[in-house]
Chains A and B, each alone.
Chain A
């Protein structure tokens, strides 16, 4: 079976994201014993930055589960996953307009809703599947440093992280369906992410940052409750649905 051009692209992106996330995760887990020994010194180093100190205190209190979610979800997925989500989505429709292939893409007897949905799902899979697949390797990697974590809880964390990345991806897809300059869209979304993260690091603004929803304390809540936070999950799902519908509508009305 020959893969379509889009499917090949998504597969390559997905594999690349998986490899990088897995490498970071493996390195972080192998470093855990050393981290555990030096937590006190690290807390002293982080003391001038209250938000960082708070995260370290949480890891110190909770132990390896907080460390793992900090390394994998808060650090790895929030940075690389968010970047991958923006990079994949920004070209989806706007890229066609920029290279002049929009009319050709739309002129086949395939509905615009279907064209958008295929790209939406393909890109989404390339972002979300690596998050789940790398998460599923955590118990095995932890076993190498004599630690354990339940796969059920980790799956809930991966689901929450995926909904967050999907929201970012869907919003970028919506912008892509309306725009013609993928680089501008990408820069705008990445700038927004950086600005949000900067807000997160400021103690007085941290509660206004979207990264508050995917930080160590959020994952600690999920791990202790062994369930997703209902209102947050519903909000993330709503953002995804809204952005998807907005993207479809924008493409349906678009002049090639």
Chain B
């Protein structure tokens, strides 16, 4: 089906795509993405490797020309090499390759070429907040430091849109928290943020909306609240020994929806989907089962992206 023509209205700070398609050889990286993001808020683009997150981001920033469909970003159609669009947003690529021979301050200036001079000043301030040694060469930087340098460059210009691919990849938990806080503050000031990640746990804290991609298609578009509700119905039990089929059967009960032993750990870890969001009734039932050993670990309220895909969306091979 031919995608509808781009709307003529100017929607500042928003991303609109319709029927966005892109193939690389025989592989269809994007299979017709229809999406409306913003203005404002933090949208998380989630998916396993190869799901099309980065290709989508590259298409809407003009770095890759789509084979079909259209994209309108901050009121501008993405055309040609997307230079006009990129002037209205900041983009931080997921793959982190910097020029090692440059000093960090020199690299920041290089990254911000084509931006107003204030952007450099702001980037230096942000880099200092991260304690980055700007006089050092980038070759001496760790992966996390390089990521922070890119983050400083992406956050410095005053724009209405930021597109950040795997922006927390390689950061330690405290830095990750610092980055997510900065993103929240930026979104509160009215900036539209599109983040990609293949880690569910880190973006559900920051995002207002979560778009799940798989094999170039949107398979779900949910709020963190609905993801949280699903998460609160999952209990992970880890035992010191693998449970026998009879013991696994004992987990079935009035409070259990379904159980799923982990294949990779030989049934030592079992995921139990409970009927209620309150796990106490299930835990009490568990304690009453005489033939079941005590679990070594009980986890509640955590859900990995692969569980989300396999258990909720029914996608295999994640």
- B83, A103: Cβ atoms closer than 8 Å: no
Determine the residue in chain B with the shortest Cβ distance to A111: B83
Determine the residue in chain A with the shortest Cβ distance to B64: A255
Q: Which residues of B contact A253 (CB under 8 A)?
A: 65
- A100, B95: Cβ atoms closer than 8 Å: yes
- B99, A110: Cβ atoms closer than 8 Å: no
What's the Cα separation between A5 and B101 when bound, in Å?
A: 9
CB proximity of A235 to chain B, nearest CB, Å? 31
- B91, A107: Cβ atoms closer than 8 Å: yes
Q: Which residues of B contact A252 (CB under 8 A)?
A: 80-81
- B86, A107: Cβ atoms closer than 8 Å: yes
Against A, the Cβ 8 Å flags (1 = close, 0 = not) of B78-111 are: 0011010011000101010111011000100011
- A108, B63: Cβ atoms closer than 8 Å: no
What's the Cα separation between A174 and B120 when bound, in Å?
A: 33
Q: Which residues of B contact A72 (CB under 8 A)?
A: none
With contact pairs A5-B102, A100-B95, A100-B97 given, residues A109 and B87 touching in the complex (Cβ less than 8 Å): yes
Other-chain contact of B63, A5, A100, A101, A103 (Cβ < 8 Å):
A103
With contact pairs A110-B83, A252-B80, A252-B81 given, residues A104 and B114 touching in the complex (Cβ less than 8 Å): no
A106 at the interface (CB under 8 A from B): yes
Determine the residue in chain B with the shortest Cβ distance to A96: B97
Determine the residue in chain A with the shortest Cβ distance to B99: A101
- A256, B83: Cβ atoms closer than 8 Å: no
With contact pairs A5-B106, A255-B64, A256-B58 given, residues A109 and B99 touching in the complex (Cβ less than 8 Å): no
B66-84: which residues lie under 8 A (CB-CB) from chain A?
A: 80-81, 83
- B80, A106: Cβ atoms closer than 8 Å: no
B197 at the interface (CB under 8 A from A): no
B24, B87, B99, B111, most chain A CB atoms within 10 A: B99
CB proximity of B26 to chain A, nearest CB, Å? 15
Q: Which residues of B contact A4 (CB under 8 A)?
A: 110
- B114, A108: Cβ atoms closer than 8 Å: yes
Determine the residue in chain A with the shortest Cβ distance to B159: A109
Determine the residue in chain A with the shortest Cβ distance to B89: A109
Other-chain contact of B98, A101, A109, A112 (Cβ < 8 Å):
A101
Determine the residue in chain A with the shortest Cβ distance to B86: A109
Against B, the Cβ 8 Å flags (1 = close, 0 = not) of A92-132 are: 00000001110110111111110000000000000000000
What's the Cα separation between A252 and B65 when bound, in Å?
A: 10
Against B, the Cβ 8 Å flags (1 = close, 0 = not) of A212-246 are: 00000000000000000000000000000000000
Against A, the Cβ 8 Å flags (1 = close, 0 = not) of B94-136 are: 0101110110001000111111000000000000000000000
Q: Which residues of B contact A109 (CB under 8 A)?
A: 83, 86-87, 114-115
B61 at the interface (CB under 8 A from A): yes
What's the Cα separation between A108 and B113 when bound, in Å?
A: 7
Q: Which residues of A contact B113 (CB under 8 A)?
A: 108, 110
Q: Which residues of B contact A100 (CB under 8 A)?
A: 95, 97
What's the Cα separation between A99 and B83 when bound, in Å?
A: 23
Other-chain contact of B81, A101, A103, A112 (Cβ < 8 Å):
A112
Q: Which residues of B contact A112 (CB under 8 A)?
A: 81, 83
What's the Cα separation between A106 and B99 when bound, in Å?
A: 14
What's the Cα separation between A99 and B80 when bound, in Å?
A: 25
Determine the residue in chain A with the shortest Cβ distance to B163: A107
B61, B81, B93, B95, most chain A CB atoms within 10 A: B81
Q: Which residues of B contact A255 (CB under 8 A)?
A: 24, 63-64
CB proximity of A119 to chain B, nearest CB, Å? 14
What's the Cα separation between A244 and B313 when bound, in Å?
A: 50
CB proximity of A106 to chain B, nearest CB, Å? 6
- B115, A104: Cβ atoms closer than 8 Å: no
With contact pairs A5-B110, A112-B81, A252-B80 given, residues A107 and B61 touching in the complex (Cβ less than 8 Å): yes
Determine the residue in chain B with the shortest Cβ distance to A101: B97
A108, A111, A256, most chain B CB atoms within 10 A: A108
- A-B CB proximity, top 9 nearest: A100-B97, A109-B87, A111-B83, A109-B86, A109-B114, A103-B93, A112-B81, A101-B97, A110-B114
Report B's interface with A, CB cutoff 8 A.
24, 58, 61, 63-65, 80-81, 83, 86-87, 91, 93, 95, 97-99, 101-102, 106, 110-115
Sample 7 A-B pairs with CB under 8 A, ordered by A number: A5-B99, A5-B106, A104-B111, A106-B81, A111-B81, A112-B83, A253-B65
Given contacts A107-B63, A256-B58, A256-B63, 16 further A-B contacts (CB under 8 A): A5-B99, A5-B101, A101-B97, A101-B99, A103-B58, A103-B95, A106-B63, A106-B81, A107-B61, A107-B91, A108-B112, A109-B83, A109-B87, A111-B80, A255-B24, A255-B64
